[in-house]
Structure formats: structure tokens, C-alpha cells
Structure 1
Amino acid sequence: MIAEGALVLFSGGQDSATCLAWALDRFARVETVGFDYGQRHAVELACRAAFRAALSARFPAWAARLGEDHGLRLDALGAISETALTREAEIALRADGLPNTFVPGRNLVFLAFAAALAYRRGLRHIVAGMCETDYSGYPDCRDDTIKAMQVALNLGMERRFVLHTPLMWRDKAATWSLAEALGGAALVEMILEHTHSCYLGDRAHRHPWGYGCGACPACELRRRGHEAYVTQRTGHPAR
């Protein structure tokens, strides 16, 4: 175990929930931060408390390391973003090939605010769920972007933060497998039940892979990953 503390960017989604478990398995003290930037799927923020509570109840050793949760409002980010995540618009590909769910600068802003919070809280390690193996093509999820941000934050704040992205080279099936390796079937079930990925914020429909509309890109990615995970685990196609 690493004796230092960590701050996890915890949105309430599958990836950040897995990252939270990853951090609790490694660091002596772990705090979380979530961002409200006017996202359409703000229901993900409501899932955060339920997941933290379930995690603490099921894993006492992790509960002892789980510290304060922080919520930060970043309304300006939503106000300046003309995207399908911050406006009532149909999800589609843009002319440049990026999905219109891309919120320019979002992860850069998140990491800057997380580092400022970590600075105040005395936390050296910052953990986030960015991934470029199985993702929507967002440029601020790329490994080069995260490495560049680490350099900028350390120079600008005169600190030696370490940015961890444990999912960077894992596809969604591998992310489910990581959750199972960290916390067994109990953690997998908690992620299914208490996290949210659907861009439309649909919590009315429960699927084998969790809640969602079943049609948006986030649901499709989560569904395919879970089906591949089940197939790899059982040797039989998911039903």
C-alpha cells in the first residue's frame, strides 16, 4: 500500500467507480470529487453517494480509507459548450469526425480544478478514468494529453502531482474484469446497480449491463464491453 493520499475524479459512472476501487486498493487515504457542469445526464451525480455508501458497507477495509467527497460546480463550462451533453440536441458525429458529445476542454478543466483541490487537501496522487483504447475519440482522453497536463500542473503549482489513469490501455471488457479482480462479484454488481453512463440520463430501464436508454453511444459502449466480459468469463455469449 502507498502511504500517501489520492483524489479520485468520481463522476458516478462505471469507469470512475472502477478507478475509485483501484485507488482504495492502493492508497492509505482516498477522497473523491465530482463536477456539475450542466450535463444532461446529471443523474450520474446522484449515483455517487449511493455507490460510495454501498462500497463502504460491503468493503470495511476500503471504508476506513475513504475520505471526504467534494462537489464542484463548473457552470461556465456548460454555458460555453454547444454540445449534445450540455444542450438538448441529437447525438451525432460532427464534420471533423468527433461526436458532438465532446465538451471541449472538459477534462483539462477537471484536472486543473482537481489539482487545485488536491493542493489544498495535501493529496499528491490524482486518479481519473480517461481511456484511449475503447472510447469515443475525445482528444482530452489521450495518454499524451494526460502526460502534458501532469507536466503543466506540476510546473504551475510547484508540486509533484502524479496523474494516474488505470484504464488508459483497457477496453470496456477489461474494465469489468478489473472491477472483478479488485472486489469480486460484489463490486461488479454494485457498478451495475449504482453507476450511470447513459448520455440521456435514463434510469428507467435496467439491462444486464446496468441502467440506460440502450441506444446512445455510452450505452452501446457499456453494453458491448459487458457482453465481451461475460463471454470471456464464462466461455459463452452473453444473453
Structure 2
Amino acid sequence: MNPSSFGPGFDPNTPNAARMYDYFLGGKDNLPADREAADKVLRFVPEIPIGIRENRAFLVRAVRFLADQGIRQFLDIGAGLPTQRNVHQVAAEHAPGSRTVYVDNDPQVLVHARALLQDSPQVLVVEGDLRRPEEILADPALRRHLDLGRPVAVLLLAIVHFIRDSEDPAGVIAKIRGALPPGSYMAISHVAVDERPQAAPGVERVYSGASAQFVARMSREIEPFFDGLDLVEPGIVNLHQWRSDLPVVAPELDRIGAYFLCGVGRVR
């Protein structure tokens, strides 16, 4: 990653949540500050890379399922840096002609994503903040690319745990859900700290100096985010338990409780 491509005002010394995620995935789109912060997080929760990889695997299975349900429009909010097996790639494999919009509020992510995806006519990258869903859904470019009168799949993967309680994450999700036509779907994944609550304060401290602040939540605090959706089987479960067709990355995950919850629900 070339820091000079981000333009004036870019601070390479501030850890970036998207680049830390890339580092956890084993990617190369990260800087020394990101790696240093990520390594601090790993001291508290060394199994994070397992959860991150399972989250990407959930993305693939969820998009495949949604394509099988006839969904041809995908809205990925908080998309992060493009990596392998992105939403539009999986959708194209299972439903050629599908259209995808990636939304992020990180200028560095936007620059990188637009450069990589500029030759993909079925894909659009727009700036937007999950905290202001009305602005995202009103974006003229997004509305030209997607027909919001027809079913849409909205993906909120590993993003809601960066929305503080004071910013009303449940209300934000409800606004998006309420704007979608019947037959649409929402897919959500969220870190749960049930198994390691004592590590949560340390992780939150590390992210307090990053571009996005992590919010530790127990499973009982995450489950209401799915209210108003008709959940598809198997409901709200750990990532590796959602319609998995391959062995999990770490079999020991079957012996623990909630650590990274996910689910897919249909809009009534």
C-alpha cells in the first residue's frame, strides 16, 4: 500500500480499522501503525484472525444463499478494503448480472476501492456513514445503480460493533430495514464478547486510538439488532454455524459459546 496515494491530511500514524482487518486476514494493504495496533489486540484475543476468516466465509455463504433466493441487488455498508471473494464476485458467480454498491466512510478505503473496481460496470463505490442511513439511501448515484423499489440485500458485516450505543445502532438498523421493500434481506455479523469479557476493555482501549472505536457487546445486546426480520435457519448463531458446507477453520470453536454472531433475515 502506497500512503502517498491518500493525499493531503492523511496520517500514517493513526491505526485504521479497515487496514487492521486486512492485516488480521493476512493481507498486505496495511501500514506499520495498523500492524502495531493489531498486534496489541491479538495479545488480548489471539484468536481474532480465526473469527475474521470465518466472517469472510460467512459473507460468501450468505451472498450465495441470497442469490439463490432471487436477490440481484446487494448493498454492502461498511465494506472495508476489497479483498478476495468480495460480494460482487460471489454474486456474479451465482447470479450473473447482479449489481453491487459498496459504501464506506473511510477516505482511504474509498480511494483504494475505486481504483480496484473502476472497470467493473456492475459495481459502484459511494461514500456514506452507517450512522446516517437516510443519506446513504438517498444518494443519487446509489439510486441510479440500484432499484430500491425491488428487493435488495443489505449487508452489515463486522460494522455494527463500531457504532456506539449513544449512536443508536438498533435505530439505525431499523431505519434501513424500514426503507427496504418486502422480500429484501439483511445480513448482520457482530463480535460477541461472551467468552472473553475480561479482554474487552483492552481491545476497546487499542481501538480508541484508531479510525473507528470498537464497542464490546454481549450476545444479549446483539440479538435485538435482528428484530423485525424473519430469520432464516439456523437463526442467530456463531459464524461457522451458519449453513456451513466446509469444516470450520478451528474445530475447537464448537466447544465455546457466542464469539462472533451472525444471521440473515427477510424483510416482512
TM-score interval, normalised by the smaller of the two chains: 0.3 to 0.5
Which structure would you say has the larger RCO, counting Cα contacts within 8 Å and 6 or more residues apart? 1
Structure 2-normalised TM-score?
0.30
